[in-house]
Chains A and B, each alone.
Chain A
Amino acid sequence: MDKEYVGFAALPNQLHRKSVKKGFDFTLMVAGESGLGKSTLINSLFLTNLYEDRQVPEASARLSQTLTIERRGVEIEERGVKVKLTLVDTPGFGDSVDCSDCWLPVVKFIEEQFEQYLRDESGLNRKNIQDSRVHCCLYFISPFGRGLRPLDVAFLRAVHEKVNIIPVIGKADALLPQETQALKQKIRDQLKEEEIHIYQFPECDSDEDEDFKRQDAEMKESIPFAVVGSCEVVRDGRNRPVRGRRYSWGTVEVENPHHCDFLNLRRMLVQTHLQDLKEVTHDLLYEGYRARCLQSLARPGARDRASRSKLSRQSATEIPLPMVPLADTEKLIREKDEELRRMQEMLEKMQAQMQQSQAQGEQSDAL
C-alpha cells in the first residue's frame, strides 16, 4: 500500500460516476418577443427537434391576453451522460398592443419554483427533491431596435435578481458586422445604466494557459451573443454541408464564428457553464429568495400575517407531503441549524481521525 496515498483524490471520480448515474437536470427559460428565432435556436443548440410537434393552441385559448407559460422536457444522452432538459417557453410575450405587466406571470412562475423547492427542502421526505427551478433565462433582443426597448428593460428588471440572464440578439443575420458591434455596445451601456445584473461568467483559473484566457476574454466581450439558428443543412461556399440559411446573395453558416456567435453561446452555455449556472441559481438566487421569504415570516406584523396566511393557504392546497404547521417553521430552522452543527462536528472528528491514522502510518514506517 502506498504510504502517502489516502485515496480521497479519487473523490472527484466518485462524484463524477455518481452524477453520471444520477443524471443532470437543467431548466432553461427562453423569453422575448415572437419571431426572433427562439425555437430555431433551441433546436440548433441541442440538436433536437423540440418544437416538432408544436401545436398552435386553440384560438379560444389565446383569446385572453395573459401570457402563457409552457414547459416541455427532453432527455438528451451523450457519451453516457444523461441530461434531462426542461424548456420553459413564454409564448405571447410582447405580442399585444398593450404589454403592461406582461412579465408578471413569468416572475410568478420563477418564484413558484423557488417556493416549491423551499417547501421540499423543509419537508420530511427529502430523498427525491425535484429541482424545477429555472437555472438560466435566454432573453432574446430584437436586432431591429436601437438597443433595449422599454419592454425589454421592464422584463429584465423584474427578473434579474431571480434568474441567471444571458442576453442574446436573435436573427443576427439582419445586421452587418459594424452594426452588430454598435448594437452590442449600446445594449451593454443600457444594462449598466439600468443596473440590470446579467449572469457573470466566472473568471477562469489563474493556472490556465494564456490561449485559454484569451479565448475566455474574447467570449466575454461578445456578450450579448448575436446568434443565428438553423436546422437546415445547406452547402457553403466550398460545397461542404453546413447548417445555415441560404439567401440569394450568400449563405449564412450557423457555426462560422465570423458569421455569428452561435459557437460561443453553445460553448459557454452547454459545454462549460452548465454546472456553474445551476450552482449560482442555488447558492445565490435561491438563497436570496429563501432569506427574504423566511425573514418576512420571522418578523411579526400585519404584512407578515398576510404572507403567512398566504403560505398556509397554498400549503393546504398544494403539498402532497405531510403539512408542516407554520408555527414550527422557526423550530425547523433551529433544528436544521443543529443538524448542520452536528454534521460539522462529525466532519472535524473524521478529519482528525484521518490525520491520526496518517501520523500512525508514518510512525510505523519509520520503525
Chain B
Amino acid sequence: MSELVPEPRPKPAVPMKPMSINSNLLGYIGIDTIIEQMRKKTMKTGFDFNIMVVGQSGLGKSTLVNTLFKSQVSRKASSWNREEKIPKTVEIKAIGHVIEEGGVKMKLTVIDTPGFGDQINNENCWEPIEKYINEQYEKFLKEEVNIARKKRIPDTRVHCCLYFISPTGHSVPWSGGSGRVGEDKVALTVLLFLGPSLRPLDLEFMKHLSKVVNIIPVIAKADTMTLEEKCEFKQRVRKELEVNGIEFYPQKEFDEDLEDKTENDKIRQESMPFAVVGSDKEYQVNGKRVLGRKTPWGIIEVENLNHCEFALLRDFVIRTHLQDLKEVTHNIHYETYRAKRLNDNGGLPPVSVDTEESHDSNP
C-alpha cells in the first residue's frame, strides 16, 4: 500500500500563533491540497479490488457481479449448456478485468467458486476457499519480507467475499456440532427455527471464514419473497448469525469512531443482509430504460429500492466502503495472518531474494 509523505511545510511568512486552527486568517498554506494530490496519484496508479463470490450454483452470482460493475466481468456458467457439469470439488477461478470510470482505473478481480455446496456431501467444502485466501496472504507476506521488494506489492488478497444465501433455506440445529447443548439455547433455537433461515452449510462457512476475510452476506434471488417475508427472513438471519457469534462486515469491533459506528450500526441492524435481484436486460419503464426482470405479472426493477436492495449493496460496496474493505483486509485480516505465521515460525519466514522476478528498484 503506497503511503504519501506530505511535502515539507514552507516556512511561514508570518510567525504562526500557537494553537491557531484557522490558518487562512494568517495565510493560506495549502495543506488541504494533499487530498487532491492523493487523488491524482490514485488516478495514475489505479487500484486493485478483489471480490470473491460464494454460493450454490444458480443463485445468480455472476449476474449480480456483472450488474454491480455494469460490465461483463463474470462469465455466466452457461445455464442450460449440457456440457457444464457441476465440478466434483470446489474450484477457484479468478478472472481479472480493468475497468475505468472518471479517469480512475480499477483492476478488478472476480474470484468464483463453482462447486460450492452443490454436492450431496458438502462437508468441509469451504476448505479450498480458506486455503486460497490464506495463499494470497502468504504471497503478500513473502513479498513484504523480501530484501529487495517491489515498489508496489501486487495485491491479490481477497478484499470482500459476497456470500449468497438461498432464499429457501431451513435450518437444522447442531448438524455436525458436538458437545452438549445448554437449556436456554434449546429454547431460543426452537423459537428461531419456525420458518426459513440459514442452512447449516451457510453457518459453517461463515463461522470458519468470518475471521479470515470480510464476509458480506447477500440474499440472492430476492424476488421470490414478499415484503413481509423479506423482513422476517432478514431478522431471522441476523438473529442466527448473532447467536452463532458470526461477525460479518462491517464488524462491530473495527468501527473507528462514533460517526462510523452510527452509520455502520444502521446498516448492520436494518439493511443487512441485502436482499438483491440481478439482471443484465433492460426494459422501458415510465419512459426510462431500467435494468430488470420482466415477469407475466410485472417488471422487477433492479435499481428500484421498493423492489430490491441492489442499489444499497452497490452503494455500500463501491461508493462508500470500498476503501474501508481494503483497509480492514490489510490492517486486520492480513496482520492476523502475519502475526500467526511469525509466531508459528518463531521468527520471520525464510527470506529469499527472487531472481526470476525483475526488480526495477535494483540500481
State which of B170, B181, B204, B298 has its C-beta within 8 Å of the C-beta of A97: B204
Cα of A248 to Cα of B228 in the assembled complex, Å: 11
Please indicate the chain B residues that have their CB under 8 angstroms from the CB of A182 in the complex: 79-80
Q: Contact: A100 with B169, CB < 8 Å? A: no
Q: Does A250 contact B (CB under 8 A)?
A: yes
> Looking across the interface, which residue of chain B has its beta carbon closest to that of A36?
B168
Once the chains bind, are B77 and A146 in contact (CB under 8 Å)?
A: yes
CB-defined A-B contacts under 8 Å, sample of 20: A34-B168, A34-B169, A35-B167, A35-B168, A60-B186, A95-B200, A96-B172, A97-B121, A97-B122, A142-B58, A144-B59, A144-B168, A144-B220, A144-B221, A146-B57, A149-B86, A182-B79, A249-B301, A250-B298, A250-B299
B166 surroundings in chain A (CB, below 8 A) = 35, 142, 144
**Cβ of B170 and Cβ of A95 under 8 Å apart?**
yes
A206-262 with Cβ < 8 A to chain B: 245-253, 258-259
Closest to A249 in B: B298
With A63-B173, A150-B120 as known contacts, state yes or no: A56 contacts B295, CB within 8 Å. no
A123 interfacial by beta-carbon distance below 8 Å = no
Say yes or no: B172 contacts A95, CB within 8 Å: yes
Whether A100 pairs with B120 at a CB distance below 8 angstroms is yes
Q: Is B343 an interface residue (CB 8 A)?
A: no
Which residues from B are CB-within-8-Å of A246? 226
Q: Mark A113-154, 1 if CB is under 8 A from B, else 0.
A: 000000000000000000000000000001111100111001
Output the nearest chain A residue to B223 by Cβ-Cβ distance. Answer: A174
Closest to B228 in A: A246
Q: Spell out B's residues near A (CB within 8 Å).
A: 56-59, 77, 79-80, 82, 84, 86, 118-123, 166-176, 181, 186, 189-190, 193-194, 196, 199-201, 204, 220-221, 223-224, 226-227, 293-301, 306-307
Contact between chains at B123 and A97 (CB < 8 Å): yes
Q: Are B58 and A144 in contact (CB under 8 A)?
A: yes
Residues of A within 8 A of B (CB): 33-36, 56, 58-60, 62-63, 65, 92, 95-100, 142-146, 149-151, 154, 171, 173-174, 176-177, 182-183, 185-186, 189, 245-253, 258-259
User: A95: nearest residue on chain B (CB-CB)?
Assistant: B172
Q: 20 additional contacts, CB 8 Å, given A98-B122, A145-B56, A174-B221?
A: A35-B168, A36-B168, A60-B181, A62-B173, A95-B200, A96-B175, A96-B176, A98-B123, A99-B120, A99-B121, A142-B58, A154-B120, A173-B223, A174-B223, A183-B80, A247-B297, A248-B306, A250-B295, A251-B297, A259-B297
Among A63, A149, A248: residue with most chain B CB under 10 A: A248
Contacts of A259 in B (CB 8 A): 296-297
From A35, A59, A96, A258, contact of B196 by CB (8 A): A35
In the assembled complex, the CB of A250 is this many whole angstroms from the nearest CB of chain B, namely 2
Contact in complex: B169, A35 (CB < 8 Å)? yes
In whole angstroms, how far apart are the Cα atoms of A34 and B201 in the complex? 14
- Of all chain A residues, the one with the shortest Cβ separation from B55 is A144
Determine the main DSSP class of A at the interface with B: loop
Bound: A33/B297 CA distance, A: 27
The listed residue (A62, A146, A154, A176) touching B58 by CB distance below 8 A is: A146
B158 to chain A, nearest CB (A): 23
- Taking a contact as CB atoms under 8 Å apart, the answer to whether A249 and B299 are in contact is yes
Flag if B172 contacts A92 (CB, 8 Å): yes
Which chain A residues lie closer than 8 Å to B58 at the CB level?
Answer: 142, 144-146
Which one of A35, A96, A252, A253 contacts B200 once the chains associate, using CB atoms below 8 Å?
A: A96
User: In the assembled complex, which residues on chain A have CB atoms less than 8 Å from the CB atom of B297?
Assistant: 173, 247, 249-253, 259
Query: Are B224 and A171 in touch, CB under 8 angstroms?
Result: yes
Q: Are B194 and A95 in contact (CB under 8 A)?
A: no
A182 to B174, CA, bound (A): 37
Tell me if A62 and B295 are in contact (CB < 8 A).
no
Question: Which of the listed residues B190, B196, B307 has the most CB atoms from chain A within 10 Å of its own CB?
Answer: B190
Contact yes or no, A34 B200, CB < 8 A? no
Residues of B within 8 A of A65 (CB): 172, 175-176
